[in-house]
Chain A
């Protein structure tokens, strides 16, 4: 079961990754101060953009700092599985909260209103 596992990543690559991460951080900050929601007329653009940038940062850290790019498929599967399961929690919980009837759709029957 031995694999050629003594792969050494070069420090120069780490420096490049760090630079990229800092640039993405700067981008996050700039984006936070531009009111995309007003520009694009509503919606959750700002938050979505911030999360997308954060995901990019996380992917860089996972692939290079955590060596997943050079690791076996099993490692890759384990790393992704955790996020898939988190997605399950998020999706099905939002499936409830997102489909609740609004107060307008379910008014209180008049006989239950306090006098």
Chain B
């Protein structure tokens, strides 16, 4: 009975409420899955609200979607999928007991996540210059090209060029529909909450790197890395749904 009470080589002991490291690991993983279930419902309610309004105002929401830079969103999706891959590799390194592997792949994940956030920040900046931010500067009349900064104007031109090359529908000229404000609100709220989850994830990864540097993880004990991996993949899944929902409403 007492053989499995003490772990063999793991530097991290089993907590007193658990019988052995297997029970501890299963409890941690199940706990993280339970937490992810709450997150599914947290984001899910936003998706439900968004979908309802999209059905109520199809034209306004389509217009709003055309304002977003789908290629930036697409690149970001690829970036986040790559970061998920790096995270999976970090968990793999943990499961074979390589603290240096964990550090390497976590640093990669953070770097890739930083790219995502950089692109997102650029998008936010462009949307700000185009006066699309509700409560800040949303205006029904799109600002004339002279008022846009160089970056925003060049993205606008690239947009129109791309639309002609792809024979796709360009952003229509003329005043915006008032209900576009609702679309932009959902866009900002949903992507901001998603970005907040990513920032928290990066902070946790820094802590995990610090722990790995002190050799805290081993084949027998790497629950924090594995559980965080689940969290990070979930954040990726949220974006996988956010991207088509927000950016690709081209044909309602």
A: residues with CB less than 8 A from B are: 1-3, 5-6, 8-9, 11, 14-15, 17-18, 21-22, 25, 28-29, 32-33, 35-38, 44, 46-47, 50-51, 53-54, 57-58, 61-62, 64-66, 71-72, 74-75, 78-79, 81-83, 85-86, 89-90, 93-94, 97
Contact = CB atoms under 8 A, between A and B. Distances in A.
Contact of A25 (B23, B37, B77, B251): B77
A8 B20 contact: no
Q: Dominant SS at the A interface? A: helix
A108 to B, nearest CB: 20
B4 A2 contact: yes
Interface string B117-144: 0000000000000000000000000000
Interface in B23-59: 23, 25-26, 29-30, 33-34, 36-38, 40-41, 44-45, 47-48, 51-52, 55
B95 interface: yes
Contacts of B230: 66
B84 A65 contact: yes
Contacts of A3: 22, 26
Q: Dominant SS at the B interface? A: helix
B210 interface: no
B248 A25 contact: no
Given A50-B244, A75-B29, A82-B41, A11 B89 contact: yes
Contact of A86 (B40, B78, B168): B40
B190 interface: no
A97 B37 contact: no
Contact of A83 (B22, B40, B245, B251): B40
A8 B96 contact: yes
A78 B241 contact: no
B200 interface: no
